[in-house]
Amino acid sequence: MSDPARDDERDLVERAKRDPRQFGALYDRHFQQIYRFVYSRVREQTAAEDVTSEIFMKALKAMPRYQDTGRPFAAWLYQIAVNAIADRYRTLRPSSPLEDFHDLSIAGPPLEEEAAHRDEIRRIWVLVEALPAQQKTALVLKFQEDMKIEDIALAMGKTAGAVKLLIHRGVSRLRDEAGTLRPAE
C-alpha cells in the first residue's frame, strides 16, 4: 500500500539526488529531529551546533550516492549522526549532567511517589551514559528517538538481530546496575 507521506519524502529525496539545491526541503523537514537527537547526546549547544552542521554537510555531499532502501530518509541521517557523534567522542567525553533534560512532569501519582519515579528516570538515564557506546546508541535510538529496529539497524550499520542484542544487553545491564529499581506496577 502506498503511504502518501512516504511517497512525498521519496519525491523530495529523488529531487535532491538530482539537484542538490533541492536539499533545503529535506533539511527543513529533518533539522529539528536531528538537532534534538544530537543535543540529547552532547548536551551542549555549541557542540550540538557543530555536530549538526557536520551531519548535514556530510549528508548533502553524500546525497547523490544515497540509495533508497525503503527505510525512512531520517534513518540515513541518524546513521551519519551516530558516526559523527562517535567520531567526536573518540577524543572528547561528555561532561554535562543530563538531569535537566530527562525531566518529565508526569501527572497522576501523589507527589512523593512522583518524585521517586522521576528520580528513577534520572538515574536510569545517567546509567545509560555509562553504557558501552553501541548499547547506548541503540537504546537512545529506540527509546529516545522512538525508531524502529530496522531503522536503527540501518543507522548503526548492523543487522536487526544485532540491534536487538544490543538493546537486550543494554537494558539488562541497566537493570543490574540500578539494582534497587522497583518492578512495574
Partner 1 sequence: MSMRHDPELDDILQDGELKHVAELLRAGRMSEDPPLDDAFRSALRRQLMNRAWGMGGTTTVPWWRKAFGPAGLAWAGAAVGVVLIAAAVVFTALTSPSTGGLTKDVLVSSPMNDQSAVRLQQPILVNFNQPMDHPSTEGAVQITPATTVAFSWSANTLSVQPTSGNLAPNTQYQVTIGPGAKTASGEKLAAPKTITFVTSPPAPSPSPTPTPIPSPTPRTQFADQHQILSVTAGASNFQWSPDSSFLFFVSAGGGLVSVPAAGGTVTTLVQDGVTSAAISPAGDAIAYIRSGKIEILNLVAGTTVEISPTPAPTRVGWTKDGVVWTAADGVYAQGTDGPIKLTALPTTGAINVISFSPDGAHLAYTQDQSLYMFDIASGKGVTLGIAGAQLLGWSPDGTGVMYSTATGVVVSDVGGKTAATLPAGEPTWSSQDEILLGSDTDIWEVRPDGTGLTKLAEGTYHLPAWAPNGVAFIFIRGGMVFGASAPAPAQRPSALDTAAAVVNSFMQARKSSDGVKASAYLNDHGRKAYSSSGGGLNLVLTGDPSFSRYYLLTQSITGSQPDTAQFVVRIVLSHDKLDVSTYEETLTLVRTQGSQQFLIDHATAGPLLTLGKGAEVVSVEVSPGTVKITFDSDLKPESVAAGVIILDSKGKQVGGNPVYANRTVTITGLDLKPHATYKLVVLSTVQDVGGTNIAAEYDLTFAGPADAHGGSNQRGEQSPSPSPRASPSARPSSSPPTS
Could you list the residues that contact partner 1 (CB under 8 A)? 12, 15, 20-25, 27-29, 31-32, 35-36, 39-40, 45-46, 48-50, 52-54, 56-57, 60-61, 101-106, 108-109, 117, 120-122, 124-125, 128, 139, 142-144, 146, 148-149, 164, 167-168, 171-172, 174-175, 178, 181-185
Q: How far is the CB of 123 from partner 1 (least distance, A)?
A: 9
**Of 139 and 154, which has the nearer Cβ to partner 1?**
139
Q: For partner 1, which is the closer residue by CB, 70 or 179?
A: 179
Scanning the structure block, which residue is given the C-alpha cell 541497566? 174
CB-based contacts of 68: which residues, under 8 Å, 6+ apart?
Answer: 10, 13
Least distance between partner 1 and beta carbon 117 (Å) = 8
Q: Which is nearer to partner 1, 34 or 79 (CB)?
A: 34
Min. distance of Cβ 113 from partner 1 in angstroms? Answer: 10
Question: Minimum Å distance from CB 8 to partner 1?
Answer: 9
For partner 1, which is the closer residue by CB, 159 or 172?
A: 172
Report the residue number, 12 or 154, with the smaller CB distance to partner 1: 12
Look at residues 31, 129, 38, 36 and name the one whose alpha carbon lies nearest to residue 73. 31
